Amino acid sequence: MTPRKQPSQRSSLFAEGARRSPTEEPPKEAPLAARMRPRSLDEFVGQSHLLEQGSVLRTLIEEDKLRSVMLVGPAGTGKTSLAVLIARHTSAEFIQLSAVTSGVADVRRVVEEGRERLEATGRRTVLFIDEVHRFNKAQQDVLLPGVEAGWIVLVGATTESPFFSIIRPLLSRTVLFRLDSLTEADIRTILDRAVDDAERGIRGMKADGDALDAIANRSEGDARVALNGLEAAADRARTAGRSTVTLEDAEDAMRQRYLRYDRAGDKHYDVISAFIKSMRGSDPDAALAWLARMLQSGEDPRFIARRMIIFASEDVGMAQPQALPTAVAAAQAVEMVGMPEAQLNLAQATIALALAPKSNAVMRAISAAMHDVEEQGGGEVPENLKNVATPGRRRGPEERYKYPHDHPGGWVEQPYRPVGLEERTYWEPEPDLEVRKRRLVRVGAGGPRRRDGGAVGRHQRGSVRERA
């Protein structure tokens, strides 16, 4: 009988004490957010849709049958805490890497050790990678053999959309679980525990209810921000010789923490969604408010500009074709001018897109065409449109291409659509498109009115007369 291959002695990760176990209690000097991590699934606050009794994820964790998963959600919603709970429940070797500090060599070593461990002892390896979206394609490619063969069970955590940041082959080999922002009630529960826990909490300090409410309200669903704010408020009160955190302490701590949090661009997908929907709703004031928040928070202006380019075709389209060049010009201005001056260009384009007449006919047209291609195939190219330079191809008189410029008006009737899709119509503009284009007019000192006599909202005042 052939003995199992023994793990390589070169492995530093096999050595005792090579790394601190994530299941160990954090030191007393650790931040409050680290000390207050849940120690069991029952202590976990929020994400009931994932961790309620009988749910898929909870069952996989409790029965130690976890497969490769991707935990996706905003910062401070419990992704790392959930990974630590997985480490507490699993009998597998648990290894944690940070995509910020780890390279290809680190990943390749862990995958190889996972293979050796499985062959030598039959024990699985769970690899937790925080901020996995920061791995480049080469680093993610290294994970594929290990995940495919079962040498490692990957637990990835990301705050970004995995469909943009994770390569498709890796994404297809993992199960996706989305974590939601915590509610104010969830945050308040976590804060109450931090106050009541004499061993891990704020240690001998109390807190007024309105102070905890203020922290919960300003944390925007981020438990880490809330706990860091509570700890800062407690330090402020302690320095002042008080044993109770007051509303003033909380407001001062959260004002400073809130700015750092916003500049990190957290929850930017929610904010960009609000920005897009405000422009779609023709409210330039709201759109400018969301734009200002993103810029003040340090959001990449190129990301904003790209979304505006998409919006110009998706939500304005042929109702005002100039919207697309306007958005593209704003994106070019961001590259050529840079911040902070480019905020003027972004603001101008935002106002223009918000006030433009709206039409989603372009989106409906391409969506319908894509659906037909997906369901029915692309269809054959009509004979008259095929490449005439193909050797050996012969056509009859009725199959020849008719050059439109040789005919009156530069137009001639002939087949253009794919075979099998001849009767399909994709471009269907709204019947009231021209009315939408002429909707806003200026009517002197009495304020703007629509042609139908209705008052224009405050956000539409100052708009110029649209060409009829």
Q: Over the stretch 79-120, which tens digit does the pLDDT of each residue have?
A: 989 988 888 888 888 898 888 888 888 899 999 999 999 999
The pair of three-digit structure tokens given for residue 346, joined into one six-digit string: 């972004």
pLDDT band at 403 (very low <50, low <70, confident <90, very high): confident
- 124-128, 196-200, 340-344, 433-437 — which is least confidently predicted? 433-437
Is residue 460 over pLDDT 90? no
Are the CB atoms for 255 and 322 separated by under 8 Å?
no
Distance in angstroms (rounded) separating the CA atoms of residues 156 and 171:
10
pLDDT of residue 406: 82
- For 184-263, CATH number? 1.10.8
Distance in angstroms (rounded) separating the CA atoms of residues 93 and 18:
13
pLDDT of residue 430: 80
Mean pLDDT across the chain: 81
Percent of the chain residues topping a pLDDT of 70: 82
Which carries the bigger pLDDT value, residue 326 or residue 337? 326
CATH superfamily of 32-178: P-loop containing nucleotide triphosphate hydrolases (3.40.50.300)
Is residue 461 over pLDDT 60? no
pLDDT of residue 26: 76
For residue 320, the Cα-to-chain-centroid distance in whole angstroms is 29
Is residue 17 over pLDDT 60? no
Domain boundaries, the chain: 32-178, 184-263, 270-355, 379-389+397-420, 438-468
H/E stretch holding 158 reads strand 153-158
DSSP state, residue 313: I
Is residue 129 over pLDDT 80? yes
Task: Return the SS3 of 65.
Answer: coil
pLDDT band at 423 (very low <50, low <70, confident <90, very high): confident
Is residue 260 over pLDDT 70? no
pTM of the model: 0.58
CATH class assigned to 270-355: mainly alpha
- 54-63, 166-175, 391-400, 450-459 — which is least confidently predicted? 450-459
